[in-house]
């Protein structure tokens, strides 16, 4: 882990914003962001990797977030608590796996996520028995 000590915008490359990022361990490199303000800030403790070309990849999941560069968004776009975001990702992955296996249509993924998110979040059961919860005879799994 290293602390970011400076972030300097240096222009654009294709649709990405380039910036030089320096760390408290003496390393520095060029990072790319889809937005002019990256999700990380000066002072954040992050894990990163630096390749031979001098490009730095900052690991999003490991930052000790200090605020500023990230906004949660609306609930329909994945906002909410971190636990809910993780649960939504798990259910979404399951729906994608089912679509890849031909068990559901790709257009059914959003309704699948809405229907089964409560199961992962340990909300009240949608049915006391298997048949009440899964009214059709064929299991989606």
User: Tell me: the pLDDT tens digits for 18-58?
Assistant: 999 999 999 999 999 888 888 888 888 888 888 888 889 98
Mean pLDDT computed over 126-131: 60
Q: Read off the pTM.
A: 0.44
> What is the per-residue pLDDT for 58?
87
Beta strand pairing call for 16-23 and 2-13: antiparallel
pLDDT tens digit sequence for 71-111: 333 333 444 677 788 888 888 899 999 999 999 998 888 88
> What is the per-residue pLDDT for 138?
62
> What is the per-residue pLDDT for 40?
87
Q: Name beta bridge partners: 58.
A: 48
Dihedral sign of CA atoms 29, 35, 39, 40 in order: positive
Task: With cut-offs at 50, 70 and 90, classify the pLDDT of residue 113.
Answer: confident
Cβ atoms 58, 32 nearer than 8 A: no
- Spell out where 16-93 has E strands: 16-23, 28-33, 45-46, 48-50, 56-58
Q: Name beta bridge partners: 45.
A: 3, 64
Task: With cut-offs at 50, 70 and 90, classify the pLDDT of residue 6.
Answer: very high
> What is the per-residue pLDDT for 20?
93
> What single-letter DSSP state applies at residue 64?
B
Contacts for 71 with CB less than 8 Å, ≥ 6 apart: none
């Amino acid at each position: 882990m290293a602390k970011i000590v400076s972030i300097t915008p240096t222009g654009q490359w294709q649709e990405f914003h380039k910036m030089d990022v320096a760390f408290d361990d003496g390393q520095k490199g060029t990072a790319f962001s889809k937005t002019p303000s990256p999700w990380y800030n000066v002072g954040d403790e992050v894990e990163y990797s630096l390749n031979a070309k001098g490009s730095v990849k900052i690991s999003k999941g490991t930052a000790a977030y200090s605020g500023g560069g990230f906004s949660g968004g609306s609930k329909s776009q994945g906002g909410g608590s971190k636990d809910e975001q993780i649960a939504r990702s798990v259910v979404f992955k399951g729906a994608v796996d089912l679509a890849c296996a031909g068990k559901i249509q790709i257009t059914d993924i959003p309704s699948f996520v809405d229907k089964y998110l409560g199961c992962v979040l340990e909300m009240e059961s949608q049915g006391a028995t298997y048949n009440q919860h899964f009214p059709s005879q064929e299991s989606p799994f």
